[in-house]
Structure 1
């Protein structure tokens, strides 16, 4: 079972850099705006590059809405990583999700 948190539940921790955030959107999406301190590891490259992540470090995984990050969490969890999916993704972080509702 993959752990899931909403962006509202992690905003303070994001500001305090209490954990590591991996953004699995493509490089152009990441360049257009991302959570401060996040590293970019696109889902399309994850299977070939996941070993770049420290196995001992817990990660919060983010994408635009939560779909790609959920896929990344399933993969990383199967490899033994401690991961949490950030539901709502960068759309919730920027407030874009609220504008669509």
Structure 2
């Protein structure tokens, strides 16, 4: 499976439909502000989560896209490539959480998705 990169407008449309969003930033970054509904799975923990489809995120869906986001797009590209190799339809969000916030879209603070 091949990883895709999506722009913020396409991500916003998908987000409005309730897609799975995985935030691969470090916990302190996530707490400072994240996309509503995004689940925190730091990049360093992603392999363990995928390896056992662990309860950190619940089962990552294999039948629909998973949107991966970070601060600006670098870490999410790596994570989405990893997920794609694991058979997951992964899409990296170009511009990341920073771009999301700069575009005037809402962010949530705290540890809850």
Common topology (TM > 0.5): yes
Number of aligned residues? 95
User: Which consecutive aligned stretches of 4+ in structure 1 deviate over 3 angstroms post-superposition?
Assistant: 54-57
Question: Structure 2 stretches of 5 or more lacking a match?
Answer: 55-59, 104-113
TM-score w.r.t. structure 2 length?
0.76
C-alpha change, 1:27 and 1:17, in structure 2 (3 Å) is: farther
Alignment of 1:3-82 (within 5 A): 3-14=4-15, 16-50=16-50, 51-52=53-54, 53-82=60-89
TM-score by length of 1: 0.84
CA distance in 1 between partners of 2:12 and 2:40 (Å): 19
Unaligned runs of 5+ in 1: 97-101
More helix, by proportion = 1
- Aligned residues of 1:17 and 1:37 also touching (Cα < 8 A): no
RMSD of equivalent CA atoms: 1.6
Q: How far apart, in 2, do the equivalents of 1:9 and 1:79 lie?
A: 23
